[in-house]
Chains A and B, each alone.
Chain A
Amino acid sequence: MNGTNLFKIALRALNNNKTRAFLTMLGIIIGVASVITMLAIGQGSKKSIQAQIAEMGSNMIMIHPGADMRGGVRQDPSAMQTLKLEDYYNIRDEGKYISAISPSVNSSGQLIYGSHNAPSTIYGVSQDYLTIRQLSVEDGDMFTDQDIQTSAKVCIVGKTVVDNLFPGGGDPVGKVIRFNSIPFRITGVLKSKGYNSMGMDQDDVILAPYTTIMKRILAITYLQGINCSAITEDMTDQAIEDITSILRRNHKLKEDADDDFTIRSQQELSSMMNSTTDLMTILLACIAGISLVVGGIGIMNIMYVSVTERTREIGLRMSVGARGIDILSQFLIEAILISVTGGVIGVILGVGASFAVKYIAHWPIFIQGWSVMLSFIVCTVTGIFFGWYPAKKAAALDPIEAIRYE
């Protein structure tokens, strides 16, 4: 008995009952399509979050005053004043793995220009902040070292701020706006970045020299934070170690004392985000996987019924010389053909549904080669697994009884 003939036999048998074959397939089609769609959605959101993080600067490192708050212990207000300008200078001058660094202080208030006003937060930074956050100047210029030394009342603004304060149009560069009644001259406008994945408007920013904010608005001598960029993403960990040792030395911390500052990296955030989306993907895949198993049981059910229904056919085949193994193979091949065909249709449908999700619901999707392969292999295995029992039953029939079966 050769494989080609068995294949032909199975194909003819399926061809004789297209409706039954299709109904059997339906479970597999739905199972495979949902696995692919679910994985595409899961992987898509992971990709988009990764892209957003990269956009924010994937080698960004954030230093905050105070010990790591993740324990939830309340801290003394003075603990929040541990970062000084000195720390900033030392990291800037001594830090070995850092390509850009900027202090960070901020204050919320009201922006006013003529009869227009808008609530906003002003950030005190150095020029490096543009590199760290991957911002660029579209009109005019960034403020200068000179401005920082003199605590000049100058600022650079984002598109949203411009839209809020200058709704009538006109060049904002050189105009003087007020922040909490303090006048700031606009030196430049930032290039628009739009909204990020968390729905935050990245253009609603106003940046000024950190010295100006510290002296003229907040009247403080400590920093609320320091942002920097590692030279490459891979150097993030070394940079953090390096910064830690500089800060511990500056703060004269003893060997066994805890850090009085916290360092977070974008990388850390991104791996946290990844594990969240991975979990989501696994959950989705599980739900979809269950429907694949249900599809498999559907195959078993219909194959099982069809063994009874086709008892006479089996008896006849045996009487003309089919061996048990031939009958077994025929039923197995039928099951596999059904599940593989269902799998192919499921893949097409799943990819189609993924694109429908992309264009109709505007969700990010990402179809991975392995998810298609996986669901395909799973449905073939399902076919073999759930086809086996009915096929075995068919092969074990007694030809005399089978052929007489009414």
Chain B
Amino acid sequence: MNKSIIELKDIKRNFKVGNEIVHALRGVSFTVREGEFVTIMGTSGSGKSTLLNILGCLDTPTSGEYLLDGVPVRAMGKNERARLRNHKIGFVFQSYNLLAKTTAVENVELPLMYNSRISASERKGRAVNALTAVGLGDRLMHKSNQMSGGQMQRVAIARALVNDPAVILADEATGNLDTRTSFEILVLFQKLHAEGRTIIFVTHNPEIAQYSSRNIVLRDGQIKEDKVNEHILSAAGALAALPVPAED
């Protein structure tokens, strides 16, 4: 059995809004092992983003224990968590969040800029490799405002890969893309999965669960369902089956 990358034990997260306490997470426990591709689903407000923020060390749980790659996160200070994000986590956001007017390479280099142990030449080399891995080897010097949504999301994925993270966290990574481009991105995630990377993918779209190795459903801050997917569909096959867009 692969080693566990993420271990959550009875994670709770409360928000205080005025005099009321919102229970966004009410005791969530699960373990993610290396090489898993987990989709997290649930209705709006079920706590998916809250969970992902905790997994990504952007937020700390109100109670419960969280081990990331064997390291307990809950008691960590801000700066230690920043270091952990820098070394062990790759984020992919719904709205890409690229630096404006900045080349693909410089965008991908960003996480490594905050790691002083990596030299300028190594940084550049790794950024180019990551961009090549997401199929943008010929778009290295394109600026973020000169790219399509799908291309921008690829740059964002390359940025999430470049620090060789323990886990890639994606929040609605295909939410802003059309069906075809969504599948292209899914193909990419499946490729990363095949290479042995650990991925946690938050989505609204139940279809996407068919392409992952495991699916967790949240409802009202609790796990409603946690199922291993025995029949993983091929995103590449689905992409090929899509009707070809009409050419003018």
Q: Which residues of A contact B (CB under 8 A)?
A: 1-2, 5, 8-9, 12, 16-17, 312-313, 315-326, 399-400, 403
Contacts and interface: CB of A to CB of B under 8 A. Distances in A.
Interface of B: 53, 56, 58-59, 78-79, 82-83, 85-87, 91, 93, 97, 99-102, 106, 110-111, 113-116, 159, 163
A321 B78 CA distance: 10
A305 to B, nearest CB: 16
A312 B58 CA distance: 14
Contact of B99 (A8, A316, A322, A325): A316
Contacts of B159: 320
B102 A12 contact: yes
Contact of B101 (A8, A16, A317, A319): A16
A145 B31 CA distance: 119
B114 A320 contact: yes
Given A320-B110, A320-B159, 10 more contacts: A5-B114, A9-B113, A17-B101, A315-B97, A318-B85, A320-B86, A321-B87, A321-B115, A323-B114, A324-B79
A17 B100 CA distance: 10
A403 B97 contact: yes
Nearest to B106: A12
Given A2-B116, A403-B97, A317 B110 contact: yes
Residue of B83, B99, B163 with highest tally of chain A CB at under 10 A: B99
B78 A323 contact: yes
Contacts of A321: 82-83, 85-87, 111, 114-115, 163
A371 to B, nearest CB: 39
A17 B163 CA distance: 27
Contacts of B59: 400
A326 B85 CA distance: 14
A320 to B, nearest CB: 4
Contact of A319 (B56, B78, B102, B163): B56
Nearest to B169: A319
Contact of A320 (B79, B91, B101): B91
Contacts of A315: 97
B110 A313 contact: no
Nearest to A322: B114
B58 A399 contact: yes
Contact of A313 (B58, B83, B99): B99
What 7 pairs between A and B have smallest CB-CB spacing? A321-B86, A2-B116, A320-B111, A323-B82, A321-B114, A316-B97, A321-B85
Contacts of B83: 321, 323
Nearest to A3: B116
A16 B107 CA distance: 13
Contact of B79 (A17, A317, A319, A323): A323
A404 to B, nearest CB: 9
13 contacts: A5-B113, A16-B99, A17-B101, A316-B110, A317-B114, A318-B85, A319-B85, A320-B91, A321-B86, A321-B115, A321-B163, A323-B78, A323-B83
Given A321-B82, A321-B83, A321-B86, A326 B97 contact: no
A333 to B, nearest CB: 13
